[in-house]
Structure 1
Amino acid sequence: MLSQVTYLQFLAVFVGLPLSVLAVGSVVSRRPGRAPLRIQAGGIALLVGLALVYTTPWDNYLIARGVWWYGDGVVSMRIWQMPLGEYLFVAVQSVLVGVWTFRLDGPVDATVGHTWRDRLLGVSAGAGVALAGLALVLGPAATFYMGAIFVWAGPVLALQWGVGWRYLLAVRRRLAVMVAVPVVYLSSIDRVAIEWGLWTISPTYSTGLTVGGLPLEEGVFFLVTSLFVAQALVLLRWVIARWG
């Protein structure tokens, strides 16, 4: 445990530095078919705002419930229950995944259609995620955190899949890389933060299952948040191409 490392210092090194390198590389390297910079900047900025608005109440509730807590001396300022670093993490994670998503961006196939039946199926699938989460929340305490993630993720997935799951399926290989790399990286640094004692996941509200020492719930969290950002930006370009 490295108690001298604060939340903000951790973010600056493990998120700020790679984000800076990735952003510079994205500006310098331009490939045919990638979105204009104004679309990239506008789309990412919109997602940062939405992420903060949607995540803040959920995050604060889980902290107040004791699902996780922070190490001594790690946090210097709180707004409600959340440390300042937590708000910044929500924002910079969205930017990091967004910049990476546009780094892999390519031509948009506007010929892919999406019927009303497809929309209904997409919304139903997202609702199924939320209902599964509700069952976990109402079950044993050990499944509470996982259930809370699913309940929180379900409405966003329902919206995105309702808008265009067929297009997401059409670009699934590209989308998989857009999501997989941030999930692996963010999960890895989260594992480091837990090992250093920056925060601790409650054994009462988690299953105790781990992957490489990382609580399973944390990996699922980074999976759904990376999906939120990557799917939103991929769908944004598709919607603009079809209806713009």
Structure 2
Amino acid sequence: MSGPTYMQFHLAFLLPVVAMLLAAATVTRTRTIRSTVWPVGRPIYWTGVAIVTLVAVIYTTPWDNYLIARGVWGYGDGRTIAHLGFAPVGEYAFFVIQPILTALWLGQLTLRPGWPELSGLGKIADWGRVLEVGRLGLGLRLIGVVAAVSIGVFGGLALATPDTFYLGAILVWAAPVLFVQWVVGLPQLLYQRRTVALGVAVPTLYLWIIDRVALATGIWYISPTYTTGIELFGLPIEEALFFLVTNLFVVQGLVLFRWVVDRWA
């Protein structure tokens, strides 16, 4: 065996960052008065993290195993220790670590005060405002439905040719989750768009960098047969899209969880 293993990858690039973010969170939990996604004194945020992580593992496992079996990607000789199905143990560890890393980062970010249905509607007599907000929310949710369905249809078409197969697999896999999240709370996500964008962008950029390192060192590889050949700074565009989408799942899920908690508190 030559080169780093999958577990060494976790030890070098993921666990230290999780530890640093956890240390930062420990400090800010006792000092901040900002309205953050992870509110001070309310550990229920981690109930949301646990739910998102569990859903991620359950939803991703069969998809991941299928693509490995299909040969879309694989692992260097001696780089993995053990497998559950077609996926190595390190892959399942990634399913758990990534949401925690993203959640720790997101938990430091601030929220806009209030929510679309809750802000500006304090007077029960303002029924015109209630109807206006209701119509706007319905319209945004319909846009979300059309967007998610379009993503799924485009992904399905992309599955038909080998060089767009991985791209199509990502889009078809992503579409149902985006459909649910956008139908449930696209108005809330747009209201908190700055937090959502920053929450997604930073961990995604970091994961792009370390994914590029893993590919360069042979921990895993992506089959050229099933990819477009388009790269982003040496990273296959499909890999870049995968980490963007998965972080979007986590961030949107946790922001919506916070909205639900606030709504029913």
TM-score by length of 2: 0.87
> Deviation of residue 91 (structure 1)?
0.7
Q: Which amino acid in 2 is paired with 1:56?
A: T
C-alpha spacing 1:3/1:40, structure 2 compared with 1 (3 Å):
farther
Does the residue aligned with 2:115 lie in a helix, a strand or coil?
coil
Does the residue aligned with 2:79 lie in a helix, a strand or coil?
coil
Q: 1:162 aligns with which of 168, 171, 183?
A: 183
Q: Following the alignment from structure 1 to structure 2, what is the Cα–Cα distance between the partners of residues 234 and 218?
A: 24
After superposition, give the CA deviation of every residue in 1:45-72 in whole Å (9 maximum; x if it has no partner). 1111110000000000000000001001
1:146: which partner in 2? 167
> Deviation of residue 37 (structure 1)?
4.2
2:58: which partner in 1? 53
Superposition pairs of residues 127-206 of structure 1, within 5 angstroms: 127-138=149-160, 140-206=161-227
1:126: which partner in 2? 148
Does the residue aligned with 2:74 lie in a helix, a strand or coil?
strand
Q: 2:77 aligns with which of 72, 75, 78?
A: 72
Number of equivalent positions: 242
> Deviation of residue 103 (structure 1)?
1.3
After superposition, give the CA deviation of every residue in 1:112-160 in whole Å (9 maximum; x if it has no partner). 456444433323321211111101012x200000000000000000111
> Deviation of residue 84 (structure 1)?
0.0
After TM superposition, what 4+ stretches of structure 1 lie above 6 angstroms from structure 2?
none
C-alpha spacing 1:25/1:127, structure 2 compared with 1 (3 Å):
same
1:94: which partner in 2? 99
Q: Which amino acid in 1 is paired with 2:176?
A: P
Q: Which amino acid in 2 is paired with 1:208?
A: G
C-alpha spacing 1:40/1:233, structure 2 compared with 1 (3 Å):
same
> Deviation of residue 73 (structure 1)?
0.6
1:33 equivalent to 2:32? Answer: no
After superposition, give the CA deviation of every residue in 1:162-207 in whole Å (9 maximum; x if it has no partner). 1111121112122111111111100100000000000110000000
Q: Following the alignment from structure 1 to structure 2, what is the Cα–Cα distance between the partners of residues 224 and 116?
A: 24
Q: CA RMSD in A?
A: 1.6
After superposition, give the CA deviation of every residue in 1:196-232 in whole Å (9 maximum; x if it has no partner). 0001100000001101100100000000001000011
> Deviation of residue 108 (structure 1)?
4.4
TM-score by length of 1: 0.94
Any stretches of 5+ residues in structure 1 without a counterpart?
none
Superposition pairs of residues 190-229 of structure 1, within 5 angstroms: 190-229=211-250
Q: Which amino acid in 1 is paired with 2:86?
A: Q
Q: Following the alignment from structure 1 to structure 2, what is the Cα–Cα distance between the partners of residues 111 and 240?
A: 15
> Deviation of residue 4 (structure 1)?
3.4
Q: Following the alignment from structure 2 to structure 1, what is the Cα–Cα distance between the partners of residues 264 and 145?
A: 21
Contact 2:102 2:251 in 1 (8 A): yes
Q: Following the alignment from structure 1 to structure 2, what is the Cα–Cα distance between the partners of residues 133 and 93?
A: 24
Any stretches of 5+ residues in structure 2 without a counterpart?
118-132
Larger radius of gyration: 2
Deviates more, 1:31-40 or 1:7-16: 31-40
Q: Identical aligned pairs, as a percentage?
A: 45
Q: Following the alignment from structure 1 to structure 2, what is the Cα–Cα distance between the partners of residues 3 and 120?
A: 52
Q: Which amino acid in 1 is paired with 2:43?
A: R
Q: Following the alignment from structure 2 to structure 1, what is the Cα–Cα distance between the partners of residues 56 and 151?
A: 19
Deviates more, 1:91-100 or 1:164-173: 164-173
> Deviation of residue 111 (structure 1)?
3.6
2:67: which partner in 1? 62
Q: Following the alignment from structure 2 to structure 1, what is the Cα–Cα distance between the partners of residues 181 and 189?
A: 9
Q: Which amino acid in 1 is paired with 2:27?
A: V
